[in-house]
């Protein structure tokens, strides 16, 4: 069954996130997604605060830009949250916006190589492996987490280009497709992801998160119309619909999605 979530965008102030999260938790929304845009809220800090103020809500991070982060630190942070709130964290990683990476001196010449090295090491560390790695960008010497989570969180990868989408299938537990992805785009992207999975011999569950902007006047048109609007993305293979509340207040959208739209989705 498809998962329905909403995105708390970086247009909110830090103080507003907790009110939105509590509303989502009380309404029964399945997931709340956050962005880590430069130079706004931190993905890790925001996720931790939301998890701590709610009881059942899953929190997705879409995404943590890997050029900004040492993989050991990322693993430590995610393991801490996953250990405190098992089963409620869905982190995503990605290239980040290259202009922003340039601004902070973190842009690399091969983003694809960095993403591969980071994803492989991150997933291994979260599994509890001890690693010695000497890659182009990731270097680890006999590194293991003291407290790997008993239930490692899935590590999703964001992608748009064909090579990144295939890589997501090779090394990720899921993929995050950005806002503006049409149902046809999603179907094509998922095909590329499946090529990567097949090349790596990977099988089993795989999460496909698609960010979808809330259409204008969606709430006025009604929940049934919204469910019909979302169905083509579900048919394309999306497993998690993350709605961007570009029209209307976030808390109102969260409640409407959870109480009115969710029951109508197959």
Mean pLDDT of the chain: 96
Confidence of residue 1 (pLDDT cuts 50, 70, 90): confident
| Residue spans per domain, the chain | 3-153+208-264
207-228: average pLDDT: 96
pLDDT of residue 266 exceeding 80: no
CA distance 74 to 129: 15
Render pLDDT for 114-163 as a digit per residue (tens, 0 to 9): 999 999 999 999 999 999 999 999 999 999 999 999 999 999 999 899 99
4-11: average pLDDT: 94
**Are 61 and 32 in contact, with CB atoms under 8 Å apart?**
no
pTM score, two decimals? Answer: 0.96
**Are 114 and 67 in contact, with CB atoms under 8 Å apart?**
yes
- Look at residue 161 and give its three-state secondary structure: coil
**Are 113 and 137 in contact, with CB atoms under 8 Å apart?**
yes
**pLDDT, position 11:** 87
CATH code matching the domain that covers 3-153+208-264, chosen among 3.30.360.10, 3.40.50.720, 3.20.20.30, 3.40.50.261: 3.20.20.30
The fraction of the chain above a pLDDT of 90, given in percent, is: 95
Q: Report helix, strand and coil shares of the chain as percent, to nearest 5.
A: 45, 20, 35
């Amino acid at each position: 069954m498809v998962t329905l979530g909403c995105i708390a965008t970086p247009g909110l102030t830090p103080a507003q996130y907790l009110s939105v999260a509590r509303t989502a938790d009380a309404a029964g929304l399945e997931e709340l997604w956050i962005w880590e845009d430069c130079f706004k809220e931190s993905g890790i800090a925001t996720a931790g605060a939301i998890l701590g103020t709610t009881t059942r809500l899953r929190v997705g991070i879409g995404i943590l830009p890997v050029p900004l982060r040492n993989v050991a630190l990322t693993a430590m942070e995610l393991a801490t949250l996953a250990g405190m709130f098992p089963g409620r964290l869905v982190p995503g990683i990605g290239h980040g916006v290259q202009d922003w990476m340039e601004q902070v001196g973190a842009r690399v010449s091969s983003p694809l190589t960095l993403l591969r090295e980071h994803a492989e090491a991150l997933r291994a560390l979260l599994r509890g492996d001890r690693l010695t790695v000497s890659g182009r960008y990731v270097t680890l010497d006999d590194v293991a987490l003291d407290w790997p989570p008993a239930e490692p969180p899935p590590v999703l990868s964001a992608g748009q280009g064909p090579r990144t989408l295939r890589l997501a299938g090779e090394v990720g537990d899921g993929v995050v497709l950005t806002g503006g992805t049409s149902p046809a785009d999603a179907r094509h992207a998922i095909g590329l992801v499946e090529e990567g999975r097949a090349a790596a011999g990977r099988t089993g569950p795989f999460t496909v998160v698609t960010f979808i902007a809330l259409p204008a006047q969606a709430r006025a048109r009604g929940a049934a119309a919204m469910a019909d609007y979302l169905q083509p993305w579900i048919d394309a293979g999306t497993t998690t619909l993350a709605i961007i509340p570009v029209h209307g207040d976030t808390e109102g959208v969260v409640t409407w999605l959870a109480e009115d739209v969710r029951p109508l989705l197959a």
